[in-house]
Amino acid sequence: MALLRRPLLLLLLIVTHQFLQFRIAFGSVNEEGQKQEEFYEELLLKPLPDRKLLTHFHFQSSAPPSTSNGRHRHLFPKAISQLVLKFQVKEMELSFTQGRWNYESWGGFDPIPSSNAKPPGVELWAVFDAPQHLIDALWKNLTHTLSGLFCASINFLESSTAYSAPEWSFPPASGKLRYGTLPREAVCTENLTPWLKLLPCRDKAGISMLLDRPSIYRGFYHSQRLHLTSTGSGSEGMDPGIILEQTLTVVLQPDSQRASLAHASEKHIQPSWSLSSIFGKQISGRCVLAETSNVYFLLDRGLVAELEHIHKENEKSEENVLISEKFWNNPSFELSAKPDRIFIEESSLLSKNASVLYKFEIEKYGESEPFDLGLFWKTPVVWLCQQAPLHANRFLMGSGNERGAIAISLKSTQSSEGFMGSNSNDERCELRVDVFQVVPWYVKVYFHSLQVFVDQQPKAVSDIIEKIHVSPSKDKVSPGVMELVLTLPCSVSSAVLTIEFDKGFLHIDEYPPDANQGFDIPSAIVSFPDFHARMVFLENDSLNKSPLLSKFQEKSPVMSYTEVLLVPLTTPDFSMPYNVITITCTVFALYFGSLLNALRRRVAEEERFLKDKAAKKMDRIPLLLSKLSAKLRGRHLEGPQAPPASSSFINSKSVLKVILIAGFAMYWQYYFS
């Protein structure tokens, strides 16, 4: 009987272990059979016109309302859940960015640049669900928590001089919004590792296996972003539901020797690539905790139009090879894997310029057959990405360390005419532009000096600026905030805004260690509320299961960030305190050294020592002659005289000098302390 019980017990343990794994993997199930917590992982690959490749990692974790008070979660990170509950966060976004998004080459009208192209350094904004008088305190505590969670200097945003409260120009604008940036924050693997720890599988399985640190940080641009949204529970005693979205956008340069050898004479040939050549790894299966694990390959509108044009010239056929059965081996490019699905943008029903999306499901691949998507270009292709209506730049004017001016330049990309249609030439056609600008308190902006130039002609401010909100800066208290709503004609070719400022003076303790490098003015945000970056694909049930494609279909305003300005301020000579301290210490050392040497020296003993030393060097004959002459004279030979008894003690004058010097030193220390 004992032998029979052992296999039964072993079988029971195996079944229990499998049940617990299944429960942990798919979360708890409610009475209606709906999954409580879900996790999705997706990757988007998109070729860029300037021979680069855009890789966009998208991870989403969701947790429904619960009664655990944030103490227990199956898949959702516990740290984020407790952060939302403790600081009453309704919505928050944190980004770490290195480099600047090239709007001219990489486009500015797609959902990716509008939502994931961020300014250099750290950007943090949060909307709180709390009374107005508690928001500043919650913001400060939130910055300290995020600083420790992501190993960054986010705690510097706790100062009132480092954050602002936008009213309406920032997209999630509300009275409970706080916004802050750190343009000079360095981004490294210390920030990426805590970000990866929030994933259920981390970087051990699934698509996140491709996140090779050297491959990511040698790219031209990379931005890791964390966006969370808290949804209401609908009942008392329930924790709110949370949706956590983690994205990593990287622009890489594929290194393809095959393309350079095969088309050495072609200037516009695109480099061929594969996942293993870019990241040095392959995807050996999906994360077992993920609901879906997909890889998408996107051809944007301009590239699709150019490929169709090349195909029509070569084959003289009207067939769309991008969606035909031979799409993986067409005259323009070749894919190493066969896609599972093909999605066409809905705009293709009205226009031929539509994006094409190839979908690859990772569930079919494993360690025996890893997924390694590759692309080989056969012919050179030249195209342009879709641009925003206006291209924004910002620069400084003036010279010297006293005053200057900030200029924001808006240049037409000829896109607004296509968006507006035939109404673009109408005088009543208007283009709305929102501008949000934050300046530090030591850059004293004169808002009354605002000037507007349209097509190089000066215009009245009231004719162009429809709405303005200004919050002047306060010295060492708060930064200056300027929010503008511009109304420009649709046929505008260029517009420039200028505003003058004076450079302030800082206390020596307020200068950073690299003060001679200059001081940063954060990027300005230029948005176009009338234009929405979205990609709507044909109706399909699989789209509802993809958070990435669902995100593409949301209406988000087109937004772009300007450059970070570097302002040189009047900087003191930090070497002068060092020189003064060095000279003072040298003088005191010489003075006290000479004084102590004079006080402790015994002159008589030194003279006797010198006489004894000289006597020892005398020869015996001179010594005998001196003794003989002394006897003839009737005198005795005098030896070295002993020093007087008073020479071994310090006289009263020396003691008085020491007391005076010690008293002066004590007074000096007390006065300067």
CA–CA dist 538, 524 (Å, integer): 36
Q: What is the H or E stretch that residue 552 is in?
A: helix 547-552
Enter the tokens of residue 364. Answer: 């079919």
The SS3 call for residue 560 is strand
Inter-CA distances, 219 with 64, 107, 419, Å: 37, 18, 33
**Per-residue model confidence (pLDDT) at position 91:** 93
Q: What's the whole-number average pLDDT of the chain? A: 83
Residue extents of the structural domains in the chain: 49-260, 390-415+428-567
CA–CA dist 158, 237 (Å, integer): 31
Q: What is the mean pLDDT of residues 144-169?
A: 93
Q: By percentage, how much of the chain surpasses pLDDT 70?
A: 79
Span 557-605, pLDDT tens digits: 899 999 999 999 888 888 888 888 899 999 889 888 888 887 777 767 7
CA–CA dist 311, 92 (Å, integer): 46
CA 529 from chain centre, in angstroms, equals: 25
Span 15-61, pLDDT tens digits: 554 544 444 444 444 434 445 789 999 999 999 999 999 999 999 99
How many CB atoms lie under 10 A from the CB of residue 88? 19
Q: What is the mean pLDDT of residues 268-277?
A: 88
Decide: residue 469, CB within 10 A, 0-12 exposed, 13-18 middle, 19+ buried: middle
One-letter amino acid for residue 515 of the chain: A
**Per-residue model confidence (pLDDT) at position 407:** 97
Contacts of 31 (CB under 8 A, 6+ apart): none
Span 283-331, pLDDT tens digits: 999 999 999 999 999 999 889 888 888 877 776 544 555 555 445 567 7
**Is 330 within 8 Å of 321 (Cβ atoms)?**
yes
**Is 292 within 8 Å of 47 (Cβ atoms)?**
no
How many CB atoms lie under 10 A from the CB of residue 610? 11
In this model, does residue 221 exceed pLDDT 50? yes
- 652-672 helix and 575-600 helix, angle to the nearest 10 degrees: 160
CA–CA dist 561, 113 (Å, integer): 10
Number of residues assigned to the chain: 673
* Residue owning tokens 């209606």: 32
Q: What is the mean pLDDT of residues 454-460?
A: 94
Span 461-496, pLDDT tens digits: 999 999 999 999 999 999 999 999 999 998 899 999
- Terminal Cα-to-Cα distance of the chain (whole angstroms): 88
Q: What is the DSSP string of 216-285?
A: HHTSSEEEEEEEEEEEP-SSTT-BPEEEEEEEEEEEE----HHHHHHTTT-SSPPPPEEHHHHHS--B-S
- Pairing type for strands 38-47 and 292-299 reads parallel
In this model, does residue 267 exceed pLDDT 70? no
Enter the tokens of residue 145. Answer: 């928590």
Q: What is the H or E stretch that residue 116 is in?
A: helix 111-116
CA–CA dist 602, 596 (Å, integer): 12
CA–CA dist 285, 296 (Å, integer): 16
CATH of 390-415+428-567, one of 3.90.650.10, 2.60.40.740, 1.10.1060.10, 2.40.160.210: 2.60.40.740
Q: What is the mean pLDDT of residues 124-133?
A: 93
Read off the pTM: 0.81
CA–CA dist 331, 376 (Å, integer): 11
Enter the tokens of residue 108. Answer: 């500015």
Q: What is the DSSP string of 338-351?
A: --SEEEEBGGGGT-
**How does residue 623 score in pLDDT terms, banded at 50, 70 and 90?**
low
CA–CA dist 318, 556 (Å, integer): 35
**Per-residue model confidence (pLDDT) at position 534:** 86
Enter the tokens of residue 3. Answer: 């032998």
**How does residue 427 score in pLDDT terms, banded at 50, 70 and 90?**
low
One-letter amino acid for residue 276 of the chain: S
CA–CA dist 288, 206 (Å, integer): 8
In this model, does residue 173 exceed pLDDT 70? no
Span 323-380, pLDDT tens digits: 554 455 677 888 999 999 888 888 644 455 788 899 999 999 999 999 999 999 988 8
Q: What is the mean pLDDT of residues 415-433?
A: 65
CA–CA dist 579, 559 (Å, integer): 51
Contacts of 621 (CB under 8 A, 6+ apart): none
CA–CA dist 142, 226 (Å, integer): 14
Q: By percentage, how much of the chain surpasses pLDDT 90?
A: 50
* Residue owning tokens 């929102």: 434
